[in-house]
Amino acid sequence: MSENQHLKRQQRIQALLGKAGLQAVALNPGPDLTYFSGLEFHLMERPVLLILPGDGPSVLILPELESAKVDDLPYPIRPFFFNEDPGTWVGIFQAALQEAGLSSGKLGLIPRRLRVLELNYLQSAAPDLEFESAQDLISQMRMIKDGSELAKMGEAVRIAECALTGILSSLKPGQTEKEVAARLVGRLLAQGSDPALPFFPIVSFGENSANPHASPGERVLKEGDLVLIDWGAAYQRYCSDITRVFALGDLHPELDKIALFVAEANTAGREAAKPGVPASAVDRAVRQVISEAGYGDYFTHRTGHGLGGEAHEEPYISEFDQTILKPGMTFTIEPGIYLPGRGGVRIEDDVLITEDGCRSLTELSRELGQLLPDDSMI
């Protein structure tokens, strides 16, 4: 990323604030703050807040122990440091808000991120300040990925796919879900993933695969099992999120059948995804295949979700999301059929909307992978 990219993003949001009726937007630690500043902080007992005003340099409230992070930034910023005495923190917030011209007016916040901790300091420091959600404003910017972001996502996909293929031949009857998940995490890190994974891998065997968000446990792998693996990597804070399903030996015929239907639905979703159509149209295309196959009641979640600096972000590929797809948007397409007590199949790809359609960033086969009981893979 060029040194000026974060400044350009700050200038772009400044140009949009007035149209949204906001004097500024405030961001606490997380992907939004990093997107606009390149800085990373973790949530802790000490507040951190980046304020992007409608005019002038950004303002950053942070503890003194983090002061080195703002040394030699390639864009102007006005830092306000506080010490370990919480009794002085309201005063620091007051000074920072005054510097940003925010004694009154409307300040945009991100409801999904801002904690009561920071909100209380803002309210105490500026009682006349009004607060409104800036979620849509920020999301509209972040949904369109630039070349640098797409390159990082592509690398996150490559890391994830290499990690999984590196452990498949080692899957053996008697291993637990937890053991396989741990081995996959090790491979992800060895292949170059950021230590902060998008999420801990889902590894579920047999009947557990019917739970879309199962946690790896002590269930052991045995012949005749479905093996569902949902995993991802992060590269320079950008994510991948993939799901593939395998079989150890022969499956019940109905489980083979639903795997075919899910693969067909995945294809329908990728074909429906193109510029100018609403996200809901992709969900309808996927859901139609599964419903016509007689399994509509067993597809229990939306078709997908946006992907980028977070594992889940806008747009959401559901019947309720009317976001018009545009080139540069990235999201998952992940239909599933889940038969309680028996097993489930989900096939998840990461896709990019292009000028004339949709390109899958993920390349692993979508066919039901066959694991042989003698531990070899075909």
Q: How do residues 325-341 score in pLDDT, each as one tens digit?
A: 999 999 999 999 999 99
Distance CA 25, CA 17 (A): 8
**Percent of the chain residues past pLDDT 90, beyond the cut:** 96
Task: Report if residue 252 sits inside a domain.
Answer: yes
Distance CA 307, CA 336 (A): 18
Q: Is the pLDDT of residue 232 over 60?
A: yes
Q: Which of 87, 108, 142 is the last residue of a domain?
A: 142
Give yes or no: residues 206 and 331 share one domain. yes
Give yes or no: residues 354 and 218 share one domain. yes
Give yes or no: residues 251 and 157 share one domain. yes
SS3 273: coil
Give yes or no: residues 130 and 194 share one domain. no
Binning pLDDT at 50, 70 and 90, where does residue 80 land?
A: very high
Identify the domain containing residue 131 by its residue range.
Answer: 5-142
Task: Report if residue 214 sits inside a domain.
Answer: yes
Average pLDDT for 191-203: 98
CA angle 351-242-349, nearest 5°? 30
Q: Which of 111, 142, 173 is the last residue of a domain?
A: 142
Give yes or no: residues 276 and 305 share one domain. yes
Task: Report if residue 226 sits inside a domain.
Answer: yes
Task: Report if residue 75 sits inside a domain.
Answer: yes
Task: Report if residue 72 sits inside a domain.
Answer: yes
Q: Is the pLDDT of residue 374 over 80?
A: no
Task: Report if residue 125 sits inside a domain.
Answer: yes
State the pLDDT at residue 378.
37
Strand (E) or helix (H) holding 142: helix 135-142
Q: How many CA atoms lie less than 13 Å away from 195 in the CB half-sphere?
A: 0
Q: Which of 119, 142, 165 is the last residue of a domain?
A: 142
Burial letters for 123-138: b for 16+ Cβ neighbours within 10 Å, e otherwise? eebbeebebeebbebb
Q: How many CA atoms lie less than 13 Å away from 255 in the CB half-sphere?
A: 28
SS3 363: coil
Q: Is the pLDDT of residue 98 over 70?
A: yes
Give yes or no: residues 256 and 217 share one domain. yes
pLDDT tens digit sequence for 273-302: 999 999 999 999 999 999 999 999 999 999
Could you give the number of structural domains in the chain?
A: 2
Average pLDDT for 308-313: 97
Task: Report if residue 377 sits inside a domain.
Answer: no
Contact 286, 265 (CB under 8 A): yes
Task: Report if residue 280 sits inside a domain.
Answer: yes
Give yes or no: residues 124 and 64 share one domain. yes
Give yes or no: residues 197 and 117 share one domain. no
Give yes or no: residues 159 and 84 share one domain. no
Instruction: Assign residue 34 the CATH number of its domain.
Output: 3.40.350.10
What is the pTM assigned to this prediction? 0.94
Give yes or no: residues 64 and 179 share one domain. no
Give yes or no: residues 222 and 346 share one domain. yes
Average pLDDT for 137-165: 97
Tell me how far CA of residue 99 lies from CA of 15, 63, 289, in angstroms.
19, 18, 57
**Percent of the chain residues past pLDDT 70, beyond the cut:** 98
State the pLDDT at residue 3.
57
Instruction: Assign residue 317 the CATH number of its domain.
Output: 3.90.230.10
Tell how strand 238-239 and strand 343-346 pair up.
unpaired
Give yes or no: residues 187 and 87 share one domain. no
State the pLDDT at residue 375.
45
